[in-house]
Amino acid sequence: MTQRIGVIDYGGGNLRNVLNVLAFLGHEGKLVGDPDDLKGIDRLIFPGVGSFGDCTEELDRRRLREPLIDWVKSDRPYFGICLGYQVLFERSSESPGVAGLGVLPGEVVRFSPDPGLKVPHMGWNQVVPVERSHSIWQDTPDPLYLYFVHSYYPVPADSSIVASTTEYGERFASSILSGNTFAGQFHPERSQEAGLRLIGNFLERGVS
């Protein structure tokens, strides 16, 4: 059965890269720019590049906030990339006073100032799965290295949803798993074979 995969279009993000990855894996992605575009979608990918505030403002303008909240709360398959990970939480220090989707408790913070630490965190870094046997990590390299570009990262209030950690001056939650929701701070669409396998696992095996 052909899967119908939606890719959230909020006016930014690595949309073309994600669509190209889906095509390479044998799937066709459909851009989702308003609530009607969600009709008939089986799985949802939210790629993100940009600022927390600009992203949430555009989601509101496109009337996508509530449909996205309903999607995740209904436990439908969701894969969040970078900003698509951050917006799941309640707030971000990048955009004070701006509400995230709030489907996961916690906040997004900036890396602590460190003279020896370059911010943004950019390049390949090791991702350490909490539960290596989980289907989302199946057939990925061990050790696993993925590509990052970010200055902020989520701090989940519930540590039980942390799916992987990464070290960059400090240890942070580089991904989470909650029901059928998987989201990570890394960019699998820019992480070559390891990233392709991760997205492929989401499409072929699901999350739960």
pLDDT for res 68: 98
- How much is the pLDDT for 206? 72
Distance between CA atoms of residues 78 and 182, nearest Å: 6
Domain CATH code at residue 113: 3.40.50.880
Active site residue 55: no
3-class DSSP assignment, residue 194: helix
Question: Per-residue pLDDT averaged across 35-48, rounded?
Answer: 95
Q: Radius of gyration of the chain from Cα atoms?
A: 16
Q: Please give the mean pLDDT across all residues of the chain.
A: 94
Catalytic residue among 27, 121, 150, 187: 187
82 is catalytic: yes
Q: Model confidence over 56-84: pLDDT tens digits? A: 999 999 999 999 999 999 999 999 999 99
Q: Which of 27, 55, 82, 150 is catalytic?
A: 82
**Look-up of token digits 């061990």:** 142
CB 121 within 8 A of CB 149: yes
Residues 135-152: tens digit of each pLDDT: 999 999 999 999 999 999
% of the chain at pLDDT higher than 90: 87
Whether the predicted pLDDT of 2 surpasses 70: no
Residue 27 bears catalytic tag: no
Number of independent structural domains in the chain: 1
pLDDT band at residue 48 under the 50/70/90 scheme: confident
More confident residue, 2 or 58: 58
Domain region containing 94: 5-204
How far apart are alpha carbons 110 and 14 in whole angstroms?
22
Residue 165 main-chain phi, psi, to 5 deg: -130, 160
Instruction: Choose, from 27, 121, 150, 189, the residue flagged as catalytic.
Output: 189
pLDDT attached to residue 183:
98
Neighbours of 2 (CB within 10 A): 8
CA 25 → CA 18, 139, 150, 182, 189, distances in Å?
11, 15, 26, 19, 12
Instruction: List pLDDT tens digits, range 91-113.
Output: 999 999 999 999 999 999 999 88
DSSP string over 25-53: TT--EEEE-SGGGGTT--EEEEEE-S-HH
Q: Is 17 helix (H, G, I), strand (E, B) or coil?
A: helix
